[in-house]
Structure 1
Amino acid sequence: MSGAALAVVVVVVFFLALYLLQRYGDLWKQQRLVLFGTLLSWYLCFLIVFILPLDVSMTVYNQCNSNITNNTTPATPTNPSSRSEANFSPFPSMSPPGKCEEPWTYIPNETLRVFWRVVYWTSQFLTWLLLPFMQSYARSGAFSVVGKIKTALIENALYYGTYLLIFIALLIYVAVQLKWKLTWADLQTIGITAANTWGLFLLVLLLGYGLVEIPRSYWLSSSHDYMLSKSYFKVAKMANEKAEADEKLADVMEEVAGIHASVRQNHFLRKYVDIILTKCPTKYQEEMGINVEISRVDQNAPPTKRVLVKLHEKVVSAVQRHNQTQVQWFILLEQAFHLEDVAKSRNSSLRHFTHSFPLAHRGWIRRFIYTPTVEWFWECVLRQGLCRLLAVLLCLLSAAVIWSECTFFSTHPVLSLFAVFIQLAEKWYNYHCIEMVCFVVILFMCVCVYSTVFRIRFFNYYYLVPHHQTDAYSLLFSGMLFCRLTPPLCLNFLGMIHMDSAISHKDRVQTSYTSIMGSMQLLSFISDGFYIYYPMLVLLLCFATYCNLGSRCLNLLGFHQYITDDDLTSDLVDEGRELIKRERRKRQRAEDGENRRWAWRERCGVDRATGRNRAGYTELKDNQKEPVTKIKKSVVTFTRRNEKADEQQTGLLQEDSSDDESPNRRSTGGSYLTLSPPVKGVFDDV
């Protein structure tokens, strides 16, 4: 079992990272280098989270062997004959001393150290060097690889220089403290400490938000009225963003059209203009092709290459933002329609969920498993109770994390709840309990932090949009955040369970993860001060999140947030409700029109029989329920003189049967009888 657990975790985590990348990115259109960098950064960070519980159980096993070897404490291992029962029992039976039972996920110590060293330094290389460079490279508007590399180096010069100055300052401080006796291991420790300090600063901010927002979001999602009002608010807000994106795209396309008209085909900059045109939507490309000759009458001076580079960057950004708003708009419409359907179905006594716009083709899951009756019970009965139960459990877990963050520095007595659990399980060498507690706690902390990374939005520069709409810059930025947040998150967790000697102040076996970090005592003001007391601020951030202080501040600055007791929020909710009504009427008219056209095509279709010649055609009877003039059935026969005439007559009949603009037209063999429709647009909705 030594390598099976590690292999399973490695494979499962890879597919998890690939699934998230497929959900937010576009595997077929985005640059391969961007996809590779993002996938690798997400994969390594998720891998750290899943492997750390195995490292903790291995540390407990190594501590047992160390105790037996040094005879410092009596060993209390488990009897090999009852090995399987001991692993699954919360209180295993005691066994003869002198032998420690291996955990079921046993991994050699050297393998873990090599694994952590490769994973950690690869993630640090990604977050501090490669991903920032790739960000600038992907966002550059240059037309060649050399130009993109040059732009990326210039943009990152200040970025790299800032961190170099911080490292030099810490280096001078340590050198003075140690009287200039530094080793390569000390330099590594300084770099690791500086990186973890910056990561811990961000970690507490994001963790404090997630510890409150995640349980609260599940509790509020159980309230249908709240979800519907918030959906209206999002629709109104997205309508404004959609209008701004459309306007910006139109302005950029107008600028492109002017440059397209000013640069002739034989100009040396024409190839760059053609590259820009390929990034424009098809509709605008066609308009530019039609109006190019007219625009050249008032021709301007050709632009410079620098202007084209900036324009190229603007076009890519405007098109990406336009596509994002379009996709988000339709998603919000579907969510609002669904919530309105839930409100209608809750008041129904039929216990049958009814969709306003049912799917044309339903899969076998909806036909046989998730039937309308099952959907009604889930949406109207079960979902509310399950969401509230999950919210209560998450709230208790959040309270335990907050308490442990504020008290993990206390070792006598031990106040951290998770440290108490781990020490109790360590006494009985219950590896299953140790790994389960570690996995649940660190997974919850990661969900709180990572979900905040997926939710936050820095204007339009960083924004993770699902349904394959996230741009390359945002994907790479998320990878950078993950790589910076995960190492301090793991160190913070090890401190909470007193597996870090810098916190517990005990002479015990260290985990393989902390062994590669080196001794933090080189920077005592960080290891004994910042690492211990700064996480206490998570309590203050949780209180601010609970009171919605951040949302209220953003609302005052003009960035509208959903606040239940705000007048502006109420206005946006009313606006969103009207927008949903309008979109519902529009979609209903479109469906009714499509149904009418389909009915006319069915009634006026031509029987295309092959292999024999027809002698005549029979007029179809009108439906008795339709308020139109009845047409008596008549038979008109004709004799075809040649094959050419036959093809012409058949073609006319087929064209008439598929004409959507004239549904009242009737055809008889070789002649037409037309009922003129009313003027288009007058009685379309009747």
Structure 2
Amino acid sequence: MAVAVLLINLVGTAFFTTTLCYYYGNWRKQHKVTTLIASVSWWLPALILTLLPVDIASAYFRSCTLSEQSVSDNFSVPLDNTPCRAPFFYAEHTVFLVLWHIVYWSSQFLTWLLIPLMRSYTRAGDFTPLAKLRSALRDNIFYYSSYLLIFIVALMYLIMTQAISFDLRYLKVLLITTSNTWGLFLVVIFLGYGLVEVPRSLWTAGNPVASLQRAYFQLSKRNMELVDEEERLTEIVLQVDRIQLLLSTNHPLQPYVQIVSKRAHLPPENPVPNPESERRGGVRIDELDDPIDLSTLSLSQLARVHRSLKSTQHRRNRARALYEEAVKHALWIEDVNAFRAKRRPVSAFLQDYHGTVLHKCASKWSSCLLLVQWYWRCYLRMWLLRVLAIVLSLLSLIMVWSECTFSVRTPTLSLVALLLKAEAKERDYFLLELSSFLTLGYLSFAVFYTVFRLRIFNFYRLVGSHHTDEHSLLFCGALLCRLTPSLCLNFLGLAHLDSHLSQTTLIVPRAVSKTLDALADSMTGATKVGQVFISSSNFSVESSYTQFMGHLDMIPFIANGFNIYFPILVLLLCLLTYFRFGSRVLHQLGVEQLIETPGYGTDRSGQSVNSLADDAIQDGRLLLRKERMTMFRNSRSYASDADSDSEQKFPNLLEHYLRTKTQQSPDRVRLLQSKKETPSPTFRTVSIPVEDFDLISHQSTSVPVEYSEDDVQREFSLHTNSGLERYPRW
């Protein structure tokens, strides 16, 4: 059975992580060794997370057999008629010890040695593999030296204080303990964010009004990022052109300059003309801010230019992909809000957002399926997200409570420990494995949700649809290998499967202690024979993972303070995340942030004073209107083609909407009219029917707008090109 468990985990986790790594990475352009290392660094943590519940159930089964033998030696009457049956997924203690040695040390080798080298190697701008390797070693000298110095200082301190003896066994435990301490510190930070943000993101996704405002806000930010990256790339390309133009043809660096120039003029992926970058493209070579002195040009300087060019090109492509994704998402949310307001199925919406599968259904079933999908997309999906957000909020509260009370062993206050002990009492090991997997899965999802949303100065970022660079994939793999062992050790502490972490550190009143102890015994199974009580808590349950990893009380300051300050820090970070402390600080510093807390950013009269966020939302609206107009014009320009319907992104919805509502929907056009672009002095006031055309919500406070009839007709003119150049593509 142990071989079957191992094979199932190996194949299942390998398939899942490989698919996930393929979704984020670009295997066609990445180095094969980098792809292999990134896939393995994502696979090993998944293997640990799926095998640990089996280890826990196996540990409880071994404890059950030991307690049964102990009772049979002391009592002639059996205390329990239920025998100890092995779990469905079961493996021996020695198998897990060998497995944890291989998986743990492999992951540590990746996260501390191999991945840092590969990250520097992939970012290097040198022109030969040997030169890239030298640059990678040079970049990591300080990294390795600092960690080695810290470890030597800690080791000398522990030896001088006689906390440990200079022994190979203690040295191994010290290495594991120091690595886990750093990992637990990161786990606390990521848990404090993820336990709050995961339910809140689902709740926001179930709110159409908040989703639309956030979609506008994100679209504006993505556009600014795209403009900035286009400007940076233009400057670097001009710098490369200057070097190529002024460098003599017989210069020894000319072959390397040709390599850089060839890369600089590669065609962009999915080019989208941008007016800001086009205007920047008119800059002359002699107007560069920081030109390179060609008299002192060296191979190392050219390698730095090449390195900067590679990273900037990737960031530009990534910004473009994010912008296109933001456009699609905003279009979807806006259309859902528009057709929700009608409160009846609309043929245009059903025809556009139904998917290709329903085309193959019979005609009598197709209309029913379209109707069901309309209700699902407009109503049921949002309510389901809200219900799921409430369930996960309760689960987050349980996790926070368990984090704050897991150090109290008697009485048992950790809800996770109570749940697992109650299932162990019933000897339902399959349910025990399932509960452990779900609980550990939610904790890991909260931590990894933070990892996947982490963004460090636009340098590290995970973007789907094959737009994540090699450096970000490796950095994520290193974080996963570093966090997963510490997260599992934290979960074992919550479940009271680490005896050193489960010591009583808080003083509980005697009366309260007796009541809670009686309740805990009723749930965990104290058995009475005559006047003798035998509690299952008397038998120490410790998994193979804990025995291999050791305990966190080797270093004195961890043993004396970790059990108290660790849960307090989790609770504090959750509160800071709930009240959006970081966003408020950035907002006060002038960085635009969308803070959806009721009452924040408004004055006493209820008017918004958050001008930065409001401006970003209005910019997002404007951008989306321009994108709609561009898509509509493209669809009309290819209307004569017989295959145009399969090439358009949103043909049926946009054509139906703009063909039938042109004269009635100034909301589609009003944000296109800027103050500088309104030449006609003739205006009229139009009231917009909220139920049909207000795409924000039925609670919108927007007032009737003024617009020029001539400009509107020019915008929607399908047979002239007079108005096409006034609103270029973004």
- The equivalent residue for 1:681 is 721
Q: How does 1:210-359 map to 2 (within 5 A)?
A: 210-283=194-267, 303-348=297-342, 350-352=344-346, 354-355=348-349, 358=352
* Aligned mates of 2:265, 2:137 — CA distance in 1: 31
* Aligned mates of 2:72, 2:593 — CA distance in 1: 59
Residue 232 of structure 1: CA displacement?
0.4
Residue 594 of structure 1: CA displacement?
1.6
Residue 356 of structure 1: CA displacement?
11
Q: State which of 573, 582, 588 in structure 1 corresponds to 2:626.
A: 582
Residue 65 of structure 1: CA displacement?
2.4
- The equivalent residue for 1:671 is none
* Deviation string, structure 1 residues 322-353 (Cα, Å, up to 9, x no partner): 10111111111111111111122213355146
* Aligned mates of 1:209, 1:356 — CA distance in 2: 38
Residue 279 of structure 1: CA displacement?
2.3
- The equivalent residue for 2:156 is 172
* Aligned mates of 1:284, 1:397 — CA distance in 2: 45
Q: How does 1:480-559 map to 2 (within 5 A)?
A: 480-505=478-503, 508-559=540-591
Question: Measured at CA, do residues 255 and 273 of structure 1 come closer, stay the same or move farther in structure 2, by a change above 3 Å?
Answer: same
Residue 73 of structure 1: CA displacement?
9.3
- The equivalent residue for 1:182 is 166
Residue 536 of structure 1: CA displacement?
2.4
Query: Is 2:105 the counterpart of 1:105?
Result: no
Q: TM (normalized to structure 1)?
A: 0.79
Q: Which runs of 5+ in 2 are unaligned?
A: 270-277, 287-292, 504-537, 602-609, 645-717, 726-730
Amino acid at match of 1:570: D
Amino acid at match of 2:496: H
Question: Measured at CA, do residues 575 and 144 of structure 1 come closer, stay the same or move farther in structure 2, by a change above 3 Å?
Answer: same
Amino acid at match of 1:17: T
Residue 70 of structure 1: CA displacement?
4.1
* Deviation string, structure 1 residues 506-541 (Cα, Å, up to 9, x no partner): 762421111112344432321342255313211111
Question: Measured at CA, do residues 558 and 21 of structure 1 come closer, stay the same or move farther in structure 2, by a change above 3 Å?
Answer: farther
* Aligned mates of 2:171, 2:436 — CA distance in 1: 31
Q: TM (normalized to structure 2)?
A: 0.75
Amino acid at match of 1:510: E
Question: Measured at CA, do residues 475 and 599 of structure 1 come closer, stay the same or move farther in structure 2, by a change above 3 Å?
Answer: closer
Amino acid at match of 2:68: I
Query: Is 2:53 the counterpart of 1:21?
Result: no
Question: Measured at CA, do residues 132 and 326 of structure 1 come closer, stay the same or move farther in structure 2, by a change above 3 Å?
Answer: same
- The equivalent residue for 2:635 is 591
- The equivalent residue for 1:419 is 417
Q: Is the Cα contact below 8 Å between 2:163 and 2:555 reproduced in 1? A: no
Residue 179 of structure 1: CA displacement?
7.7
Query: Is 2:182 the counterpart of 1:194?
Result: no
Question: Measured at CA, do residues 283 and 414 of structure 1 come closer, stay the same or move farther in structure 2, by a change above 3 Å?
Answer: closer
Question: Measured at CA, do residues 242 and 371 of structure 1 come closer, stay the same or move farther in structure 2, by a change above 3 Å?
Answer: farther
- The equivalent residue for 2:104 is 120
- The equivalent residue for 2:289 is none
Question: Measured at CA, do residues 510 and 353 of structure 1 come closer, stay the same or move farther in structure 2, by a change above 3 Å?
Answer: farther
Q: Is the Cα contact below 8 Å between 1:354 and 1:372 reproduced in 2? A: no
Q: Is the Cα contact below 8 Å between 1:345 and 1:376 reproduced in 2? A: no
Q: Is the Cα contact below 8 Å between 1:212 and 1:546 reproduced in 2? A: yes
Residue 115 of structure 1: CA displacement?
0.7
Amino acid at match of 1:580: L
RMSD over aligned CA atoms reads 3.1
- The equivalent residue for 1:627 is none
* Aligned mates of 2:329, 2:566 — CA distance in 1: 41
Q: Which runs of 5+ in 1 are unaligned?
A: 79-92, 601-677
Rg (Cα) greater in structure: 1
SS of residue paired to 1:462? coil
Q: Is the Cα contact below 8 Å between 1:341 and 1:354 reproduced in 2? A: no
- The equivalent residue for 1:39 is 39
Moved more, 350-359 or 316-325: 350-359
Question: Measured at CA, do residues 126 and 682 of structure 1 come closer, stay the same or move farther in structure 2, by a change above 3 Å?
Answer: same
Residue 158 of structure 1: CA displacement?
1.2
Residue 557 of structure 1: CA displacement?
3.5
Amino acid at match of 1:216: R
- The equivalent residue for 1:49 is 49
Query: Is 2:63 the counterpart of 1:63?
Result: yes
- The equivalent residue for 2:613 is 569
Q: Paired residues, what number? A: 583
Question: Measured at CA, do residues 254 and 174 of structure 1 come closer, stay the same or move farther in structure 2, by a change above 3 Å?
Answer: same
Q: Is the Cα contact below 8 Å between 1:253 and 1:284 reproduced in 2? A: no
* Aligned mates of 1:168, 1:427 — CA distance in 2: 46
Amino acid at match of 2:321: V
Q: Is the Cα contact below 8 Å between 2:50 and 2:437 reproduced in 1? A: yes
Question: Measured at CA, do residues 462 and 123 of structure 1 come closer, stay the same or move farther in structure 2, by a change above 3 Å?
Answer: same
* Aligned mates of 1:352, 1:418 — CA distance in 2: 48
